[in-house]
Amino acid sequence: MPPEMVESPWLEDTAGQRYPLNGTSSLGRASTINRYGFAHDKVSRRHVLIHSQDSGEFWIVDLGSTNGTYVNRERVVAPVCLQDGDSVNLGHGVELTFRQTTTAALIRAQSLLISTAHDVRVEERWILIADLEGYSALSKTMPPAELAIRVGGWLAATSELVSKNGGRINKYTGDGFLAFWREGEGVAKRVAAAVREFRELHEKSKVAYRVALHWGNVAIGGAPSLGEESLMSDDLSLGFRLEKVAAGLRLPFLMSAAAAERLKSDIILDPVPGSHAVKGFPPVTGLHTLR
């Protein structure tokens, strides 16, 4: 199937009505603030997101809904990758089926085939990695309903925080996400505002989390697939590695020397002394954390 003929995935209700998916689609009771509204008393105002990422994957993200989101009768606690035919139930009130006739693997293969026909551009970007701390242990000790509300509430608050300050979530992982800002006039101040809000949220959050921030070059590869662009670069990989360094140092916030240099006039920072091993990279220095 030629790439231009790839059919977008969709949700289908029990009456056969389709709800096409691409990019990020929000579902909830309020039709005015969601892409798709479902007027059911068991559906929360903003209930769930379905997010396109990694060239064809669609991840479902519960937003701390009161009655929960269920995939194949299992409550969604952290973001989950959907598969064709999965049953999606909103609060035990709205029954939907996820349909994807073209597999994510085929979409990725097609994207690679046509990438040479599109410019691969390099952009300066702010790269932010947010990750829940100790999620595996929590998932074994906390009741699923309580954990789902806590994690979903955190995801709802942080995704709104990123969006409000001009950023965009590119990818959800099992217990966190990757967000970015395109560099430009005034962007550093927006990133600084987001970091300050992350710290304020951290002080009152019911779940612990880490944030790593880096600034660098990111290659944008080929054409967007189903509304989401592919990001790649050593700087992107370094951003993810810095989150692991933060975990080892037991720091809730860590930023690279490049990020700290650009934010030092907007945020009070403290240096992290020493040289730090980073898998796949030379040791890094000049790291900073929030005071």
Q: State the amino acid at position 188 in one-letter form.
A: A
**Phi and psi at residue 232, in whole multiples of 5°?**
-155, 145
pTM of the model: 0.85
36-37 and 69-71 beta bridge pairing: unpaired
Residue 202 per-residue DSSP state: H
For 162, the 3-state DSSP assignment is helix
Per-residue pLDDT of the chain (291 residues; tens, 9 = 90+): 444 555 789 999 999 999 999 889 999 999 999 999 999 999 999 999 999 987 688 999 999 999 999 999 999 999 999 999 999 999 999 999 999 987 655 555 555 555 454 567 788 999 999 999 988 888 888 998 999 999 999 999 999 999 999 999 999 987 899 999 999 999 999 999 999 999 999 999 989 999 999 999 988 765 444 445 566 689 999 999 999 999 999 999 999 999 999 999 999 999 999 999 999 999 999 999 999
